[in-house]
Structure 1
Amino acid sequence: MAGSVWAALGLSLACISALSLISPSWFQSHTFSFGILTYCSRPRGDSRNQSCGTFRSLDDIPDLAWKVSAAILLGGWLLLAFNAVLLLSWALAPKGLCPRRAGGPTPGVQTVAVTVTTVGLPVFPISLASAFAKQACGASSVYHGGQCQLGWGYVTAILNAVLASFLPVIRWLRMTKVQGRIILFSGDTEQIILMPERSK
C-alpha cells in the first residue's frame, strides 16, 4: 500500500512539473505570454484568438540565462520522471523481490531532482533582461517583469518544487521511525533467541 502511495505521488509530481514546463504562462502581459519552452501572442482584448510557438531546441531559446534555466529545469524534470518510474516499478514488484517496502528505493534521486529544480527556478527571471522579454514586457530587466506579471506556470513550478522537497523529508522521517522499531524488535528477538544455554 505504501509503495502505491509513493508511486502515485511521484507520478503526480512528474506530471505537474511537465505541465509547468510546457506552459506558456510563466510571465504574461495583455498581448504576450512566455514560459521556458513555449510562447503565445494574442490581439488585445481577444484571448481566444492566439497563436503559440515552441522553442524546439536550446539554440532557439533567445537568451543564455534562459538556456541555462531550461537545461537545468529539464534535467530536474528528467530526474523526477526517472524517480517516478522507479517508484512505480518498485510498487508493482512482488513483495519477496523488494523486502523493504516502507520508504521507497530512491529518496536520493528525488532529493537531487528537487535541488536541481530549485537551482533552475531563480535563474529564469534573469532572462527578463533579454531583447525577447523586453519586446514582450516593455521595460523589463533582471528580476523585474516590466509590464509582464507572474503567471500560473511559474507559480506551479515553484509549488511543485516545494511539494517535491517535502516528500524526501517525510520518507526519511517515516524510514527513521520504522527502522527504529525494527532495531528495537530485532534486538529483543536476538537476545531471546541467541541467549546461550546455562549448564547445570
Structure 2
Amino acid sequence: MVGALGLSLACISALSLISPAWFQSHTFSFGVLTYCSWPRGDSWNQSCGTFRSLEDIPDFAWKVSAAILLGGWLLLAFNAVLLLSWALAPIGLCPRRGSGPMPGVKAAVATATIVGLLVFPVSLASPFAKEACRASSVYRSGQCQLGWGYVTAILNAVLASLLPTIGWPRRTKVQGRTIVFSGDTEKIILMPEMSK
C-alpha cells in the first residue's frame, strides 16, 4: 500500500514539476521547468517553452529550487519503485519487517520538497518573473496569482511528510506476547516477550 501511494505521489509530483502553472498572470504563466504565454483573452492559443537545463533557468534561486525539487522527486520515484519491488518480491527473499528497506528516504523526500518549495518564491525577484508578473519581489507575486501547479506541489509535500508514519507497524501486547500489525504484509507476527 505504501509503495503504491509513493508511486502515485511520484506521478503527481512529476505532473506538478512540469506544470507551467505555478504563478500566472492574464497573459503568462511559469513553473519550475516550463512557461507559457498567450494573447490577452485567448488562453486557448498558448505558446509554451521549457528550460532544458539548469543553465537556461533565469535566476540562481530558481536553479537551486529546481535542483532540490528534482532531487526530491527522484528520491520519491526511486523509493516508490524500491518499495513496490520489495512488496512484490517472494517472502523468502526479503523479510517483511518495518516500513520498507529504506525508511529514512521518505523523510529526506519530504524535507527536499519543502525546502525546494520555500526557495522557489525567492525567484520572483528575478528579471524574468518581474517582466511576467510586474512589480514582483521575493515572496511577493505582484500581478501574478498562485497556480494549481504550486498548490499541487504543496499538497504532495504534505502527503510525502505523512508517508513515514503510514508504513510504521503498530504494536500491542496480548497475554505476554507482542503482536506486530504491519500494513505492508497484512499479517500478524507474534513475538515472545523479552524480559527486562
**TM-score computed with the length of structure 2 as normaliser:** 0.88
Paired position in structure 2 for 1:181: 179
CA distance in 2, matches of 1:89, 1:128: 41
Cα-Cα RMSD:
1.9
CA distance in 2, matches of 1:143, 1:128: 7
Q: Is the aligned partner of 1:13 residue 2:9?
A: yes
Paired position in structure 1 for 2:108: 112
The structure 2 residue matched to 1:128, chosen from 104, 124, 128, is: 124
Give the drift of 1:187. 2.2
Amino acid at match of 1:126: V
Give the drift of 1:101. 5.2
Give the drift of 1:33. 0.1
Q: Is the aligned partner of 1:77 residue 2:86?
A: no
Q: What is the 5 A alignment of 1:45-194?
A: 45-100=41-96, 103-172=99-168, 175-177=169-171, 180-182=178-180, 185-188=190-193
User: Structure 2, unaligned stretches of length 5 or more?
Assistant: 181-188
Give the drift of 1:110. 1.2
Amino acid at match of 1:187: P
**TM-score computed with the length of structure 1 as normaliser:** 0.86
Give the drift of 1:103. 2.5
Amino acid at match of 2:192: G
Give the 3 Å change call, closer, same or farther, for CA 178–41 of structure 1 in structure 2.
farther
- SS of 1:33's equivalent in the other structure is strand
- Higher strand share goes to which structure? 2
User: Structure 1, unaligned stretches of length 5 or more?
Assistant: 192-200
- SS of 2:139's equivalent in the other structure is coil
Q: Following superposition, which runs of at least 4 residues in structure 1 exceed 4 angstroms of deviation?
A: none
Q: Is the aligned partner of 1:36 residue 2:41?
A: no
Percent of paired sites with the same residue: 75
Alignment size in residue pairs: 183
Amino acid at match of 2:55: D
Give the drift of 1:14. 0.5
- Higher helix share goes to which structure? 1
Which of structures 1 and 2 has the bigger CA Rg? 1
- SS of 2:171's equivalent in the other structure is helix
Amino acid at match of 1:106: M
CA distance in 1, matches of 2:143, 2:70: 27
